[in-house]
Amino acid sequence: DVKVTQSSRYLVKRTGEKVFLECVQDMDHENMFWYRQDPGLGLRLIYFSYDVKMKEKGDIPEGYSVSREKKERFSLILESASTNQTSMYLCASSSREGSEKLFFGSGTQLSVL
């Protein structure tokens, strides 16, 4: 089975802190994604990457950046956390051939106080 592992299940940070959310997949997938999930808004795409050192903006990239230095790892960075970034963050990966078949991690519930 594909495994997508997110480094933290729950995270509490203060406004203005720099926050790193880490995601690792073990299936040699080319594609990796970061979504945030909020009640009533569903899953919204923040950033995605189709290859190492490559990144593209999704629907809501403002306030976020990403890093993909290795194929298996995709990091989401909140440069200066704000309270409106309190949310569930979900990482996913997929292969180039089956790009719409995403495998998700269990999510990180981030609270910014």
Partner 1 sequence: LAKTTQPISMDSYEGQEVNITCSHNNIATNDYITWYQQFPSQGPRFIIQGYKTKVTNEVASLFIPADRKSSTLSLPRVSLSDTAVYYCLVAAYSGAGSYQLTFGKGTKLSVIP
Give the footprint of partner 1 on this chain (CB under 8 A). 4, 33, 35, 40-45, 48, 50, 56, 58-59, 90, 92, 99-107
Q: What minimum distance in Å lies between the beta carbon of 88 and partner 1?
A: 9
Q: Which single residue is written with the structure tokens 């979504």?
A: 35
- State the nearest-atom distance from the C-beta of 112 to partner 1, in Å: 20
The radius of gyration computed from the CA coordinates of the chain, to the nearest angstrom, equals 13
Q: How far is CA 52 from the centre of its chain?
A: 15
3-state DSSP assignment of residue 74:
strand
Kindly tell me which of 57 and 79 has the beta carbon lying closer to partner 1.
57
CA dihedral 23, 48, 10, 13 (to 10 degrees): 110
* Position 103, amino acid: F
Identity of the residue, 48 or 75, whose beta carbon is nearer to partner 1 in the bound complex: 48
CB of 25 to partner 1, least distance (A): 12
Residue placing its CB nearer to partner 1 in the complex, 14 or 46: 46
